[in-house]
Structure 1
Amino acid sequence: MNQYTVDVVIPTYQPDITFITLLERLDKQTYPINEIIIMNTEESFWKESDYPEQMNRKVFHLFKKDFDHGAVRAEAALKSKADIILFMTQDAVPKNKYLVENLIKAFDDNDVGAAYARQLPRINCKMIEAYTRNFNYPGNSCTKSLEDIEELGIKTFFCSNVCAAYRKDIYMELGGFERRTIFNEDMIYAGKMVQSGMKIAYVAEAEVIHSHNYSYIEYFKRNFDLAVSQKEHPEVFENVRSESEGIKMVRQTAHYLYKNKKSWMIVDLILQSGFKWLGYKLGKSYNKLPRELIRRCTMNQTYWEHQ
């Protein structure tokens, strides 16, 4: 395995005990981490005394009005001098001490520009969400390139900044994350990277614990924002098949529930899928909607204040 320097970037907002666990497990990784760069929103919520002092941690504060999914990460990338930048979210916890080591192995292939980890459900994760985690993050690793678009469609570009590492020189060469985006900065960049001829590695052996139990409305809003991000970047998403993968996931989840004698949960699956679909469809037509309706549909109110 090649030896690279690695920095970790974590945006935070009102971090809780999960974030402390994340830091503790990063400190125990078998692969050395050069610096942990924390981009914290709203200094008033940051209590230095909550976190044990470490020489390799740097904390930068910003106002909530200045937060942007892409810009904050792009700014952090400029602060890093490492060969590889590993982006994580404050609620993703490494399963074990081999997370970084396993991710970095993917870069032994010089054509790999990004590598992302497997996300495992939390203990309290609902059954449908747990299954869809396994659908999106299966137990087998793979590498995706431009040649896979016909078969995989938009999933070719799938890459999650919940836990994803990027080769710094390629990142800078391609311009990095969009500095203004409602959401989905990882896939927008990954799409451009694949179009440039680079590959994305999914590393199933690199595992983080991360899941959400969203309500129907939260699923609606999340998918609205997802669709907005795709609509705003036709250069990446316009000619790539996207909806068939979602249909496939719903069918397989319904079969899984039936097989496990949880048929009554299929009603929940249908409602959840309906809210996702409606949010996505409205998001794809956001430019035709009145501003007040958009504000009711989005998870990211701040984004629309600057439109």
Structure 2
Amino acid sequence: MKVSIIVPAHNEAEGLPATLRSLLAQTDPAHQIIVVDDGSTDRTGDVARSYGVTVLRPPRNLGSKARAQNHALPRCQGDLVLAVDADTVLAPDYIERLKPAFDDPAVAIAAGNVQTRHARTLWERGRSIEYLFGFHWHRPIQAGARSPMVCSGCCSAFRRDVLLAYGGFPERTIVEDMDLTWSAQMAGYKAAYMGHAVAWAADPETLPYLRKQVRRWMAGFFQNVRLHLPRMLVRKPMLALWVCLAILEILIAPLWWATPVLLTYAWHVPPAEAIAWWWGTELLLLTPPLVYAAHRRRLPLLKVLVNVPCVYATRAVNTYYAWKALIIELLLAPVGMAKSLTTYEKGRADPRPGAVRGTTVSSRS
């Protein structure tokens, strides 16, 4: 089973070498590697060519990750198409461990376990805890129920014939990975999570970058809810359950944040005791999966636990943009009182002085 790799890249000259080295070092080599130099103003194209891979440069910036991937799709010759972000590094055996998922002819899409490449800043440390928890707790449970919520777009593989049948990577929402994961499952295909296939993504190191990423993710989630949930309730009830639980978690998040205040003022619990109860309950729920994740990833447990406080900073950002997306994408946009998010903005700084790096353009929603 041949694998074609697509790497969409806009101003990724700095991070691209590590990604390409990891792709070229696979124990099960890819049939072809295609880098889409999507309107870059840095040396992205030259860097890619120096590694001997195929480089495509559209006549203009295409406007979104999905469009860049679709630009390369007609050139793909493999049975599988592996989409890899230009700042994601794959373990050497990633393809080798992912391909067995497709031994089942019903599997249309599969992805592995994503972890953070760096844990230097507050935001990266918080995201590292989110990933350790999510990919060793939520994702295995969803996979066990044969209903993964999303196959991560930074390292997902797709059957090429299924992609072509869908007209390529979906451009109607701002998060193509979730759109395709949900669409394929509702059509009767399977999505697979292969936890032993590991990839490391470069996550937001600054608050401005994190805000742009989370805003896009949350807006895309509710765009897909609006588009798919009614049919999903009938065609894929278990997947609909996970989606509804995610919405419920968003709805009650402000109550969770306010719990110490409520305990203090409504039930007259001393502030220190209220915070202790809140913090203790949180640790009781959070720590066991993290201990397991640290064991699986062979990480020093203390190094993991010391990052736990950082997750509350990223959760605060998540909560704000989740509620904003819920109000705009689910309530206001459908009745014409607000516009859906159609701007794909990656967020990292452009290497040019005074410029902004990242794709900032429109995609259909």
Change (3 A) 1:120 1:269: closer
Return 257-266 or 197-206, whichever deviates more: 257-266
- Describe the superposition over 1:160-192 as per-residue Cα deviations: whole angstroms up to 9, x where unpaired: 1100101112222233322343x2101111111
- Describe the superposition over 1:50-102 as per-residue Cα deviations: whole angstroms up to 9, x where unpaired: 356455x211113564222222212322221210110000000113x211111
1:302 and 2:361 matched = yes
Partner of residue 100, structure 1: 95
1:32 and 2:29 matched = yes
Distance in 2, matches of 1:160 and 1:73, equals: 15
TM-score (norm 1): 0.78
1:69 and 2:65 matched = yes
1:110 and 2:169 matched = no
- Amino acid corresponding to residue 255 of structure 1 in structure 2: L
1:6 and 2:3 matched = yes
Where structure 2 has 5 or more consecutive residues not aligned to the other structure, the ranges are 234-239, 258-277, 288-304, 347-358
Tell me how far 1:22 sits from its aligned partner: 1.5
Distance in 1, matches of 2:229 and 2:168, equals: 17
For residue 119 of structure 2, give the secondary structure of its aligned residue in structure 1: coil
Q: 2:216 aligns with which of 204, 216, 225?
A: 225
Return 123-132 or 113-122, whichever deviates more: 123-132
Q: Is the 8 A contact 1:92 1:208 kept in 2?
A: yes
- Describe the superposition over 1:96-121 as per-residue Cα deviations: whole angstroms up to 9, x where unpaired: x2111111111112211111021122
Q: Is the 8 A contact 2:219 2:322 kept in 1?
A: no
- Amino acid corresponding to residue 197 of structure 1 in structure 2: G
- Amino acid corresponding to residue 204 of structure 2 in structure 1: N
TM-score (norm 2): 0.67
Distance in 1, matches of 2:129 and 2:10, equals: 28
Tell me how far 1:24 sits from its aligned partner: 1.5
> How do 1:1-307 residues align onto structure 2 when only pairs under 5 Å count?
4-46=1-43, 49-51=46-48, 53=50, 57-62=53-58, 65-95=61-91, 97-125=92-120, 126-138=124-136, 142=140, 148=146, 156-181=148-173, 183-213=174-204, 215=206, 218-233=209-224, 234-238=226-230, 239=233, 240=240, 241=244, 242-244=246-248, 254-255=282-283, 260=305, 265=310, 268=313, 271-284=316-329, 285=331, 287=333, 288-289=336-337, 301-303=360-362
Distance in 2, matches of 1:82 and 1:18, equals: 25
Distance in 1, matches of 2:54 and 2:76, equals: 11
Q: What's the % identity of the aligned pairs?
A: 17
Change (3 A) 1:298 1:43: closer
Tell me how far 1:194 sits from its aligned partner: 0.3
Distance in 1, matches of 2:220 and 2:76, equals: 26
Distance in 2, matches of 1:261 and 1:231, equals: 33
Q: Is the 8 A contact 1:71 1:180 kept in 2?
A: no
Where structure 1 has 5 or more consecutive residues not aligned to the other structure, the ranges are 150-155
Return 29-38 or 65-74, whichever deviates more: 65-74
Change (3 A) 1:143 1:71: farther
Q: Is the 8 A contact 2:126 2:308 kept in 1?
A: no
For residue 93 of structure 1, give the secondary structure of its aligned residue in structure 2: strand
Change (3 A) 1:255 1:235: same
Distance in 2, matches of 1:184 and 1:261, equals: 32
Cα-Cα RMSD: 3.9
- Describe the superposition over 1:5-52 as per-residue Cα deviations: whole angstroms up to 9, x where unpaired: 111000001123431121112112111211101111125423555356
For residue 62 of structure 1, give the secondary structure of its aligned residue in structure 2: coil
Distance in 1, matches of 2:338 and 2:42, equals: 34
For residue 101 of structure 1, give the secondary structure of its aligned residue in structure 2: helix
- Amino acid corresponding to residue 209 of structure 1 in structure 2: W
Distance in 2, matches of 1:127 and 1:235, equals: 33
Change (3 A) 1:5 1:211: same
Q: Is the 8 A contact 1:70 1:178 kept in 2?
A: yes
Distance in 2, matches of 1:270 and 1:28, equals: 35
For residue 17 of structure 2, give the secondary structure of its aligned residue in structure 1: helix
Return 9-18 or 140-149, whichever deviates more: 140-149
Distance in 1, matches of 2:171 and 2:343, equals: 24
Distance in 2, matches of 1:146 and 1:256, equals: 23
Q: Is the 8 A contact 1:111 1:198 kept in 2?
A: yes
Q: Is the 8 A contact 1:146 1:195 kept in 2?
A: no
